[in-house]
Amino acid sequence: MKYCPECKADMREQTIDEVERLACEADDCSYVVWGNPTPVVAGIVEYDGKIVMAHNVAWPKHFFSVITGFLEKGEDPAEAMVRETKEELNLDVQSQTLVGAYGFEQMNQVIIAYHLEATGEIKLNEELDDYKLMEKSDIKPWDMGTGLALKDYLKSLNLM
Ligand SMILES: [Zn+2]
Instruction: Tell me how far the alpha carbon of residue 25 lies from the centroid of ligand 1, in angstroms.
Output: 7
pLDDT of residue 142: 95
Which CATH code, of 1.10.8.60, 3.30.479.30, 3.90.79.10, 3.20.20.120, is assigned to 38-156? 3.90.79.10
What is the percent of the chain with per-residue pLDDT over 90, rounded to a whole number?
A: 99
Protein residues placing their CB within 5 Å of the ion ligand 1? 4, 6-7, 9, 24, 26, 29, 31
In DSSP terms, 40 is beta-bridged to 70, 111
pLDDT of residue 115: 98
Q: What's the whole-number mean pLDDT along residues 124-140? A: 97
For 53-105, what is each residue's pLDDT tens digit?
A: 999 999 999 999 999 999 999 999 999 999 999 999 999 999 999 999 999 99
Instruction: Tell me how far the alpha carbon of residue 6 lies from the centroid of ligand 1, in angstroms.
Output: 5
Asked whether residue 1 carries a pLDDT value surpassing 90, the answer given is no
pLDDT of residue 95: 98
Instruction: Tell me how far the alpha carbon of residue 142 lies from the centroid of ligand 1, in angstroms.
Output: 42
Instruction: Tell me how far the alpha carbon of residue 136 lies from the centroid of ligand 1, in angstroms.
Output: 52
What is the percent of the chain with per-residue pLDDT over 70, rounded to a whole number?
A: 100
Strands (E), the chain: 11-16, 19-24, 38-47, 50-56, 67-70, 91-104, 109-120, 128-134
In contact, 149 and 114? CB cutoff 8 Å: no
pLDDT band with cut points at 50, 70 and 90 for residue 44? very high
Average pLDDT value for the chain? 97
Instruction: Tell me how far the alpha carbon of residue 22 lies from the centroid of ligand 1, in angstroms.
Output: 11
